[in-house]
Amino acid sequence: MLTIEKLSAGYGKVQVLHGISIDVPRGKVVTLIGSNGAGKTTTMRAVSGMIAPTGGTITLNGKRIDGLEPYHVAKLGLAHSPEGRRVFATMSVTDNLTLGAFPRLTGSRPRGDVPGDLERALELFPRLKERRTQLAGTLSGGEQQMLAMARAVMLNPEVVLLDEPSMGLAPILVDEVFRIIERLKSQGVTMLLVEQFAAAALAVADYAYVLENGHISVHGPADRLRNDPAVRAAYLGGGH
């Protein structure tokens, strides 16, 4: 579904990713774990077109997407819930969600049932439902985080990139985010997940890659990596 091959990318003269390869098969959840600054967000940005790769290829459903503009990548069915709460502050919750479906409304993605999906998104995130008319900029940080995730789902995407969906959330809401990821997975949504809670990410994922300084150091089935002593020592030390 999503195939990243020998991807290199960075910022100006600084190369961050040094030829990484990641495969995200249809209907699977793949997680990318790694320390702060390893290049996880940079990987997501290169895939969604926010930065242009300097090498390698990215294919979605067999189509090359590397170097395309973000809007074009979204039209091809890739949704990105970016790191940090990137919502449209002066628009309501409902309008933010509708905007997530924009390529469907303009006919560049299959339209499907946008109002129905809006209702379903609000059912999935009850906190947003209660605040549907509120301006997104006045939501709490955690609520904005959920809105970014819900907005990505509104594309009715082929693949969703989730960059730290639980960042800044209280423990009870972190659990809620992982329940939502489980729910999306059971609906067959394909996901590439980056999470600070590596143990929880490995529990929900089918397959995992470890990124170290812009290189993939280890990859394998998520349950195998969960029991790998080196991975445990480096990333699962917090007892999560």
Ligand X SMILES: Nc1ncnc2c1ncn2[C@@H]1O[C@H](COP(=O)(O)OP(=O)(O)OP(=O)(O)O)[C@@H](O)[C@H]1O
The residues binding ligand X (CB under 6 A) are: 11, 14, 16, 34, 36-42, 83
* Residue 136 CB, nearest approach to Mg ion (Å): 22
Of Mg ion, ligand X, none, which one sits near residue 11, judging by CB under 5 to 8 A according to partner kind?
ligand X
The one segment of 36-44, 56-64, 175-183, 197-205 that binds Mg ion by CB under 5 A:
36-44
Of Mg ion, ligand X, none, which one sits near residue 49, judging by CB under 5 to 8 A according to partner kind?
none
**How far is it, in rounded angstroms, from Cα 140 to Cα 169?**
10
* Residue 8 CB, nearest approach to ligand X (Å): 13
The one segment of 4-12, 32-40, 93-101, 110-118 that binds Mg ion by CB under 5 A:
32-40
- How many alpha carbons lie under 13 Å from residue 160 in its C-beta half-sphere? 28
* C-beta of 46 vs 122, nearer to ligand X: 46
* Residue 50 CB, nearest approach to Mg ion (Å): 12
Evaluate the CA torsion angle 197, 201, 203, 208 in order and state its sign. Answer: negative
* C-beta of 125 vs 197, nearer to ligand X: 197
Binding of Mg ion by 41 (CB under 5 A):
yes
Is there a contact between 32 and 211 (Cβ–Cβ < 8 Å)? yes
* Residue 72 CB, nearest approach to ligand X (Å): 21
Of Mg ion, ligand X, none, which one sits near residue 233, judging by CB under 5 to 8 A according to partner kind?
none
The residue count for binding Mg ion (CB under 5 A) is 3
* C-beta of 45 vs 185, nearer to Mg ion: 45
How many helices (H) and strands (E) in the chain?
11, 10
Phi/psi for 148 (5° steps) reads -60, -40
Tokens of 130: 């209660």
* C-beta of 9 vs 97, nearer to ligand X: 9
**How far is it, in rounded angstroms, from Cα 49 to Cα 80?**
10
Using the CB atoms, write b or e for 187-202: b if 16+ within 10 Å: eebbbbbbbbbbbbbb
* Residue 152 CB, nearest approach to ligand X (Å): 17
Residues in region 67-86 near Mg ion by CB under 5 A: 83
**How far is it, in rounded angstroms, from Cα 198 to Cα 195?**
6
Of ligand X, Mg ion, none, which one sits near residue 38, judging by CB under 5 to 8 A according to partner kind?
ligand X
Binding of Mg ion by 166 (CB under 5 A):
no
**How far is it, in rounded angstroms, from Cα 182 to Cα 82?**
19
Using the CB atoms, write b or e for 130-139: b if 16+ within 10 Å: ebeeebbeeb
Binding of Mg ion by 31 (CB under 5 A):
no
